[in-house]
Chain A
Amino acid sequence: MATTTFDLYNLMERDKVLLAFKGTVTSDLLSSVFQIMESKMEDLNDSPATKKKVFNVLVECLQNLYHHIDDFDNDNAIFETSKGDKKSAIFSISRHDDHYNIVTGNFIYPKNVDEITSKITHINSLDRDQLKAYYKEILGNGKLSEKGGGGLGLIDIAKKSRNKLGYSFKEIDKDYSFFTLIVKILKK
């Protein structure tokens, strides 16, 4: 049975979604999303510290998404396939009683699955002090890539969210996998 708009509405209502988007992630889109989220959060009854942390982590999550999607451009991949636009991504921000969830999903090359897995596994294996030290080490030694943060993004997300990163991969076909990142931020 086809999913109706009402089903989608109920799903988002159940998951307490504040904002969700599916499509191409551009710099202008992110500017609008940040603006919308800031004004939405202004009206919410959460502490300023919580709002600031959520905004911080959100910026990092969505810019991470933005930079990853860019990667396809450089590789001259064929984006338009029978299964849809591979530059398209999805993200949502939901607000629960004691925490926020930021979820992002995007297509990646299957060859990158192992690298992302080991990176996240490593980050998740570190306790808070180790994570701080790791961040400092990459900040001090790493070189900044042309567009991105030189590998600091996920470390920063884990460090600021004070939580283990949730993630999963779904194999689409031999050319693409779908990567989902779930970040939970406890309210303060």
Chain B
Amino acid sequence: MEDLKHEGSAKTPVVEFSSNGELLLKGRSIPENSIEFYKPLIEWLESYSESPNSTTVLSVQLEYFNTSSSKCILDVFKKLESVSGSEITVKWHYEEDDEDMLEAGEDYEAIIDLPFEMIEVEEI
């Protein structure tokens, strides 16, 4: 299957979903209409789940996201949760002084049944 790529913009993150199991979401996610933006990501994961790689790593490196995106990001995690036959890890990155972003990651970790790795970085 084809990889999914989206160049980031002022309101949307970089997306690099590769069929080798390396998935990246990086930058900021603050679009007014996040459903529209996340739809292709969910659809890609749907196809990916048909023959996933033996390991899947979703690396989330977000600087900002709005509440509209927060539900969509949850949907991405839920879709990933439903993928069987792959060892899945979420790497949640947050900047060292950003306790809100760490908290957001912990919220998802509590809701989603996937292993989360919290990674502190100097700058995203």
Contact of B67 with A156 in the complex, beta carbons under 8 Å:
yes
B70 CB, min distance to chain A CBs, angstroms:
6
CB distance from B8 to the nearest CB of A (A): 14
- Interchain CB contact under 8 A, B67 and A31: no
B residues within 8 Å of A by Cβ? 10-11, 30, 32-35, 63-64, 66-68, 70-72, 74, 95, 97-98, 100, 103, 107, 110-111
Q: Is the CB of A152 within 8 A of B70?
A: yes
Chain A: interface secondary structure?
helix
State the total of A-B contacts with C-beta under 8 angstroms.
72
Q: Decide yes or no: A139 and B70 within 8 Å by CB, A52-B98, A56-B100, A132-B103 being known contacts.
A: yes
Min CB distance B35 to A, Å, is: 7
Q: Are B68 and A146 in contact (CB under 8 A)?
A: no
* CB neighbors of B among A130-188 (8 A): 132, 135-136, 139-140, 142, 144, 146-150, 152-153, 156, 159-160, 188
Q: Report the interface size class on chain A.
A: 35 or more
**Complex Cα distance A53/B97, Å?**
10
Which of A30, A67, A136 has the most chain B CB atoms closer than 10 A to its own CB?
Answer: A136
Query: B68 touching A144 by the CB < 8 A rule?
Result: yes
Contact present for A149 and B100 (CB under 8 Å): no
Partner of A149, one of B10, B63, B66, B95: B66
Check if A120 is an interface residue, CB within 8 A of chain B.
Answer: no
Is the beta-carbon distance between B111 and A136 smaller than 8 angstroms? Answer: yes
Given B10, B34, B71, which contacts A34 in the complex, CB threshold below 8 Å?
Answer: B10
A63 touches B68 (CB 8 A): yes
A56 contacts B64, CB within 8 Å? yes
Name A's B-contacting residues (CB within 8 A): 27, 30-31, 34-35, 47-49, 52-53, 55-56, 59-60, 63, 66-67, 132, 135-136, 139-140, 142, 144, 146-150, 152-153, 156, 159-160, 188
Compute how far the CA of A148 lies from the CA of B107 in the bound complex, rounded to whole angstroms.
20
- B30, B95, B103, B111: most-surrounded residue (chain A CB, <10 A): B30
Give the chain B neighbours of A52 by CB distance below 8 A. 63-64, 95, 97-98
Taking a contact as CB atoms closer than 8 A, the residue among B35, B64, B103, B111 that contacts A140 in the complex is B111
The answer to whether A144 and B35 touch across the interface, beta carbons within 8 angstroms, is: yes
Residues of A within 8 A of B11 (CB): 31, 34
A60 near B66: Cβ-Cβ < 8 Å: yes
CB pair A66–B68 under 8 Å, yes or no, is no
Return the chain B residue nearest A143 by Cβ: B71
With a CB–CB cut-off of 8 A, which chain A residues contact B32? Answer: 27, 30, 63, 66-67, 147
Chain A residues near B64 (CB, 8 Å)? 52, 55-56, 59
Query: Complex: how many Å from CA A147 to CA B34?
Result: 8
Known: A59-B30, A60-B66, A146-B35. A135 touches B107 (CB 8 A): yes
Partner of A49, one of B35, B74, B97: B97
Closest 3 pairs (CB-CB, A-B): A149-B67, A152-B67, A49-B97
Which chain B residues lie closer than 8 Å to A147 at the CB level? Answer: 32-33, 68
